[in-house]
């Protein structure tokens, strides 16, 4: 059974909201890495949030893709309980090498109350970085079946990791995304693409289903520019976590190497943070 949300908005309502966001226009889906960053992003008015596997892993002193399924599930549950907006799970490759394992992982993820989740087609094996097309489709199909059996209407995101594993082939990327769409993915995602031409081609290739664009570094494109290309949602992956780590590392290195405190010049106000977190909801330690 799905666990009840301790927030003011029910899990069912969060899922309705996330699906509605994908119907028209373009929205930004930023990626917090812990409860505090999630609460802050919600306070800025973002309508939905997505977890980041890398940001969460770094907060646990682990490399990306080095957390366990149990760790990921506990994190998802905590994030869902922390905010009133929908949470989309960065669920890596489903924490399983076969389709049956993906189905079980997806069932468990749905029970945490997430409104959406993504499944990658990367293997983590440098010698064979991507699952074959047939394997990827079967994994997507079983993820869809697991969601449908749960009755929870979780939005399924299909990811083609070609550009991230050193295979920046547009034809292969399009073929994979279209196959994942046909296998039941509600939204399609190809992290690593960045040019206007690539983005437009992928938007058109998966239409009428929505396309998710990753903007993980400084970009000349604005949200308005990206929306004009037909992108439905924009995520930032681990970029916000890396930005936070960048400020922390620079100030720490300045102190350790030069004995200076200049790195604190741009630090957030403690008063502002205390006001933000003044009301700590039940269920959040």
Give the tokens for residue 157: 């995101």
pTM over the 0.85 mark: yes
**Phi, psi of 44, deg, nearest 5:** -85, -5
Query: What is d(CA 220, CA 224) in angstroms, rounded to the nearest whole number?
Result: 11
Q: Give 211's strand partners.
A: 188
Instruction: Please say if the pLDDT value at position 152 is more than 50.
Output: yes
Domain residue ranges of the chain, discontinuous segments joined by +: 11-239
Q: Quick check: 120 and 152 in contact, CB under 8 A?
A: no
Instruction: Please say if the pLDDT value at position 260 is more than 70.
Output: yes
- pLDDT per residue over 116-129, tens digit each? 999 999 999 999 99
The strand pair at 27-29 and 155-159 is best described as: unpaired
Confidence class of residue 2 from pLDDT cuts 50, 70 and 90?
very low
Instruction: Please say if the pLDDT value at position 24 is more than 80.
Output: yes
Per DSSP, the residues of 34-82 read: SHHHHHHHHHTT-S-EE--HHHHHHHTT--TT-S-HHHHHHHHHHHHHH
Question: What's residue 282's pLDDT?
Answer: 45
Question: What's residue 1's pLDDT?
Answer: 36
Confidence class of residue 8 from pLDDT cuts 50, 70 and 90?
confident
Which residue has tokens 């196959």? Answer: 179
Question: What's residue 135's pLDDT?
Answer: 98
Confidence class of residue 157 from pLDDT cuts 50, 70 and 90?
very high
Q: Mean of the pLDDT values across residues 207-212?
A: 98
Class of domain 11-239: alpha beta
């Amino acid at each position: 059974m799905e666990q009840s949300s301790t927030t003011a908005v029910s899990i069912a309502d969060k899922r309705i909201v996330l699906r509605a966001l994908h119907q028209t226009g373009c929205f930004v889906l930023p990626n917090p890495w812990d409860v505090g960053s999630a609460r802050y992003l919600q306070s800025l008015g973002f309508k939905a949030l997505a977890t980041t596997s890398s940001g969460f892993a770094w907060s646990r002193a682990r490399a990306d893709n080095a957390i366990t399924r149990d760790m990921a599930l506990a994190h998802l549950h905590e994030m869902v309980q922390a905010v009133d907006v929908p949470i989309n799970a960065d669920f890596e490759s489903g924490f399983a090498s076969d389709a049956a394992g993906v189905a079980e992982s997806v069932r468990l993820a749905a029970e945490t109350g997430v409104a959406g989740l993504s499944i990658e087609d990367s293997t983590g094996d440098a010698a064979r970085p991507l699952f074959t097309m047939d394997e990827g489709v079967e994994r997507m199909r079983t993820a869809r079946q697991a969601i449908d059996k749960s009755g929870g209407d979780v939005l399924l995101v299909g990811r083609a990791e070609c550009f991230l594993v050193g295979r920046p082939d547009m034809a292969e990327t399009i073929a994979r995304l279209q196959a994942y769409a046909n296998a039941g993915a509600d939204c399609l995602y190809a992290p690593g693409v960045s040019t206007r031409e690539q983005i437009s081609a992928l938007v058109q290739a998966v239409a009428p289903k929505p396309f998710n664009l990753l903007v993980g570094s400084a970009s000349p494109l604005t949200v308005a520019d990206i929306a004009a290309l037909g992108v439905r949602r924009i995520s930032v992956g681990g970029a916000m976590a890396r930005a936070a780590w960048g400020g922390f590392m620079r100030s720490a290195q300045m102190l350790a190497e030069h004995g200076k405190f200049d790195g604190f010049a741009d630090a957030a106000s403690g008063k502002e943070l205390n006001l933000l977190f003044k009301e700590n909801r039940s269920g959040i330690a």
